[in-house]
Structure 1
Amino acid sequence: MNAFVRVIERGSFAAAAGDLGITPSALSKLVTRIEERLGVRLLTRTTRRLVLTTEGELFVARSREILASIEAAEAEVTAASQAPRGHLRISVGTTYARQILAALPLFLGRYPDITVELLVSDRQIDLVAEQVDIAIRSGWLGDSTLVARKLHDARRLICASPHYLRKYGSPRVPADLLQHNCLTLTGFAQFNQWPFHTSEGINRLAISGTLTSDNADLLLDAAVAGLGVARLADFVVARALQEGALVPLLEDTHLSEPFPVHVVTVPGRHRTPRVRAFTEFMVTHMNGER
């Protein structure tokens, strides 16, 4: 199963054989024996590429699940005696990537036998199918078979640079934002409707501006450069606020909409030493401990 999965991941017998330390012909014969035993064709071989059949897609998906379960079983037995080591694949969204990057030097210094592959994407990945050890996910988790550990609660802040405020003035009440250039995140309609407490309940103010982006870090840089007012997660703007590059606005009326940030992993794999070490490290790191 491991050999078959490696062929699919690498896209060729030659590349997979190099990883496994066998010849391409031996690997091809191994896959052929699997097909003969199952009585179905798993791969369609052409001169240019390998294409999974319907049965092959099912077999590779189940194989990945089984291999993950084997790894988890071994980890549960040996975790107590093993030092954290090995390759750690971490999936993180673009908004949170800087937090992980800032923590990595300390983590790798503490665990020199661990190597890290950081996969930065806002796409919701399948941890089993893509062989990812850990994913960092912001927001509320839906029903899932994944094991989750909360890192911390985050909240959103409205802020602008001192330069922008000197030039255009500070908004005193939410309605003042309608006269300001507001920088917004694309992708979700609510990002263009900023919530505020009023005497009648929660009011969502539809704001607009000259710059939108799907990247929070870009909007952070734009706000620091004085291009407008931004509403971003506190962990995105924390350093800029600390250094005085940004100033918080409308704190008395703004609804910060707290949301959790979790580490998630496949059941069983959370007990592997390298996964457990990273999870515990991030929990303490993000809560201000060292």
Structure 2
Amino acid sequence: MKPIHKSAAARVEVNRAGELEAFVQVVDRGGFSAAARHLGLTPSAISKLVARLEARLSVQLVHRSTRKLQLTAEGQLFYERGLRVLADLDEAERCVGAGAAPRGRVSINASIPFGHRLLLPLVPRLLEAYPELQVDVVLTDRVVDLMEERCDIAIRWGKLPPSDLVGRLLGHTAQAIVGSPDYLARHGAPTTVEELARHNRLGSTYRRNVPDWPLVVDGRAVAMPVVGSARASDGAALRLLALEGVGLARLSVYHVLPDLRAGRLVPVMEAFNPHELEPLHAVYLGRPGRLPARVRAVLDFLAANADFEGADRVPAPAS
């Protein structure tokens, strides 16, 4: 017997569900013509599907005659098992299809500051809205590979580089140079670039960090090197250093908005702030129209509930 070519075998495997559906409908409808009308195929196509199924199984499933169709013993057994297989297939499609209720585990990655400020406060409401979801929250300032680390969604700030990732915009945040009232009382609030150069400027060891602070002087872009006595790996740690009066830090307004409103941190050098907005995205792999219901539900929830009100500008110092 001539062996089946690998690609041909693959085509046969792909059509197994179609063969089974055709066979079950022939039995349920009492004939090939009725099954063809139900499935929107020709009687000849239905006959070929059932014949191919019998050839693959090397057994006759139905006795054909001009007057009636009768199942063989093997056909009756295969029909009963086939009904269960098709029911399981329908259930599987309902579970993962576009109209499925969100259920299952969703892995979400975020930087430590955005995780604490944005993501974690939303988790209780997310799980209340979708009780059949389970959420894995992974906070790290390392940029993860979503495919390699089996991560469904990542929260990322800044402009997205070209990649296979799709981004869902969550909001924008301004940036500000800030210091604590205690630090400013001891060292004075800088009002010129020359004065800023004499201050302790706290830096970041984050790999995407820009080593200079952007300023605008007389309409020209100026880069202020970040030189100071301390650095930190993430914005949350820089915020704590600034709150403790160690030095000045340039931070996302979104991270420090409550501190600015309460007067725990004070913005400085606002006359030189370029007022550039940083976007924040929820990124994911795949096409928007083919997302699992569990991932789509989380993306929609984040987009609807991420609160960036007031983060797109630097508030005036608290009185």
Task: Please give the alpha-carbon distance, in whole angstroms, between the structure 2 residues aligned to 1:79 and 1:151.
Answer: 23
Distance 1:137 1:172, change over 3 A: same
Identity %: 33
Partner amino acid, structure 2, of 1:149: R
1:139 to 145, 150, 158: 158
Contact 1:184 1:191 in 2 (8 A): no
Alpha-carbon shift at residue 189 of structure 1 (Å): 8.8
Cα contact 2:107–2:152 (8 A) shared by 1: yes
What's the counterpart of residue 278 of structure 2?
259
Kindly tell me: are residues 190 and 105 of structure 1, through their superposed partners in 2, closer, same or farther at Cα, counting changes over 3 Å? closer
Give the TM-score of the pair, scaled to structure 1. 0.67
Partner-residue secondary structure (3-state), 1:148: strand
Offset of residue 220 of structure 1: 0.4
**Equivalent position SS for 1:130:** coil
Structure 1 position 185, deviation (Å): 0.9
Q: Could you tell me whether the CA contact under 8 Å between 2:171 and 2:308 is conserved in 1?
A: no
2:297 is the counterpart of 1:282: no
The alignment covers a number of residue pairs equal to: 216
Provide closer, same or farther for how the CA distance between residues 204 and 132 of structure 1 changes in structure 2, counting only shifts above 3 A.
same
Q: Which residue of 2 aligns with 1:198?
A: 217
Query: Offset at 1:154?
Result: 2.2
Equivalence for 1:18? none
1:91 maps onto 2:123 in alignment: no
The answer for unaligned runs of 5 or more in structure 2 is: 1-91, 310-319
Q: CA deviation at 1:171?
A: 0.9
Match of 1:225 in 2: 244
What displacement does 1:253 show?
1.2
Whole-Å Cα distance in 2 between the matches of residues 74 and 249 of structure 1?
Answer: 57
* Deviation (angstroms), 1:254: 1.3
Read off the aligned partner of 2:229 and give its amino acid letter.
Answer: T
Which digits, 9 at most, give the CA deviation of each residue in 1:102-132, with x for residues without a partner? 2222222222221111112233322222221
Residue 105 of structure 1 aligns to a residue in which SS?
A: helix
Greater relative contact order (Cα < 8 A, sep 6+): 1
Q: Which residue of 1 aligns with 2:229?
A: 210
- Give the greater-gyration-radius structure (CA): 2
Which one-letter code corresponds to 2:298 in the other structure?
F
* Whole-Å separation in 2 of the counterparts to 1:228 and 1:75: 56
Equivalent pair of 1:76/1:271 in contact (CA under 8 Å) = no
Q: Are 2:142 and 1:123 aligned?
A: yes
TM-score, normalised by the number of residues in structure 2: 0.62
SS of structure 2 residue aligned to 1:126: coil
Q: Once superposed, which parts of structure 1, at least 4 consecutive aligned residues long, lie more than 6 Å away?
A: none
